[in-house]
Amino acid sequence: MKKIGNIIVLLLMVFVFSSFVSALPTGANVTNLSSTRAPADDPTSAEAIAGNVTELSIFGYSLTQSWQGYFGNVSGTIMLADGNDNVMYNWSLASPEGEIYATNSSSVEWQGIQCYDEANNMTFFENMFGIKPDDVDGINETFNLNDHPEFVTNSILFTAGSCDNTKLFDSNGVGTFDEVLLTDGSNLIFTSLLLEDANGFDNVPHDFEMIVLENGHGTDIATTTYYFWVELE
């Protein structure tokens, strides 16, 4: 009887441990609602008079050729379901907390997730997207902060300020939306920490703002496909 009891206990332990899986980010259903860009300014003029030399102070802007921006709102459900997506129960979320992830690979090794830094082959990624070492809108020039709040990805805790991050603007030009750079060792993973209906850059409430790398330098007019994951709390 003791032997049979030990077997039962062992089987229960195998069942318990085989049933435990950490909460992985899941693929997100994305709908493209609109895509716009800043219009070009009309030129201004200065009069030229033969024999004169004129000092000018000129200001202008150019659109980045390295980054694409995304923004919007997130809705979803926390659910209890089996491997065939048969739902036992769910909890609808109007303004969920959590993270949105984007990468240009359809496969992510979530078990190997970690902070991205310059040691993670920044030159390789900048070359991939046509960024030169002295470009003002490079990776390390953009993600140059370490002040994001604490968050969890795949049951891995990232303490406050432990990764490189940037802050995208609200309508007053104040850095409000935190975006963190992660990697699985092979891919850059852009990670937006969700807020609940925060004032966005366009003075409209949004749950997230995010930028991702895209090469628009020189004659490159090809698009880059990004895949999105979501982890809701």
Sign, Cα dihedral of 66, 111, 80, 85: positive
Q: Is the pTM of this model over 0.95?
A: no
Beta 114-115 vs 165-169: how paired, if at all? Answer: unpaired
Residues 6 or more apart in contact with residue 130 via CB below 8 angstroms: 65, 66, 215, 216, 217, 218, 220
**Distance of alpha carbon 118 from alpha carbon 133, whole angstroms:** 12
Query: What pLDDT does 10 receive?
Result: 31
Query: What pLDDT does 22 receive?
Result: 52
Tokens of 115: 């902070």
Q: Are 213 and 125 in contact (CB under 8 A)?
A: yes
**Distance of alpha carbon 210 from alpha carbon 101, whole angstroms:** 9
pLDDT in single tens digits along all 233 residues of the chain: 444 444 333 333 333 333 334 578 887 788 888 888 888 888 888 888 988 888 888 888 888 999 999 999 998 888 899 989 899 998 887 677 899 999 999 999 999 999 998 777 788 999 999 999 999 999 999 999 999 999 999 999 999 999 999 999 999 999 999 999 999 999 999 999 999 999 999 999 999 999 999 999 999 999 999 999 999 98
Q: How far is CA 19 from the centre of its chain?
A: 30
**Distance of alpha carbon 139 from alpha carbon 141, whole angstroms:** 5
